[in-house]
Copies of this chain bind each other. A is one copy, B any other.
Amino acid sequence: MGSALMDAIPPRGAPTLIAIGGDHAGLPLKRAIADALNAEGYQLLDFGTNEASSVDYPDFAHLVSAAVGGGPARFGVLVCGSGIGMAIAANRHPHIRCAVLHDTTEARLTRAHNDANIAAFGARLIGPEVALDALRVFLSTPYEGGRHDRRLAKLAPPPVQGSTDS
């Protein structure tokens, strides 16, 4: 957003760069998504895991979030068993807005209203065709702006917490 980091963003006409990562439970769906995105002309930054052995999902959420929030990637994709743990970890990053996607409706709404920049998926909950349809809508839906700008500006906790009557 106007910072020196813009230098790292590919020039116009270059393929959209997408950071992708997942844990062991997410591996089959992550592979299916990566294959489809590659075939559709996206450029991928793959942070793994690419092995079946057990790993900790937040490690991958943080790598992808760093690549998207201030890093070179325009969007991120995270895959674990439910998508939920990934989204919690990703949303700890101030510049990330991560949604767990189950369908094209959520994909459309979260891009249009939340300007989401990472899509999370639960490999134990949805199949690859549903995930890919949702992801395609996610990648192609513009943010609406307008009244939503004011709400996005409030996503960070207010300075004084714990007071409910201020």
Contacts and interface: CB of A to CB of B under 8 A. Distances in A.
A125 B107 CA distance: 12
A58 B151 contact: yes
Interface stretch (A34-42, A59-67, A128-136): A59-67
- In the complex, the count of this chain's copies comes to 2
Contacts of A109: 81-82, 84, 124
Given A82-B110, A88-B97, A92-B92, 8 more contacts: A56-B154, A71-B164, A81-B113, A84-B109, A87-B87, A88-B116, A92-B156, A99-B100
A154 B105 CA distance: 31
Interface of A: 47, 54, 56-59, 62-63, 65-67, 69-71, 81-82, 84-85, 87-89, 91-94, 97-100, 102, 105-106, 109-110, 113-114, 116, 122, 124-125, 147, 150-151, 154-158, 161-164
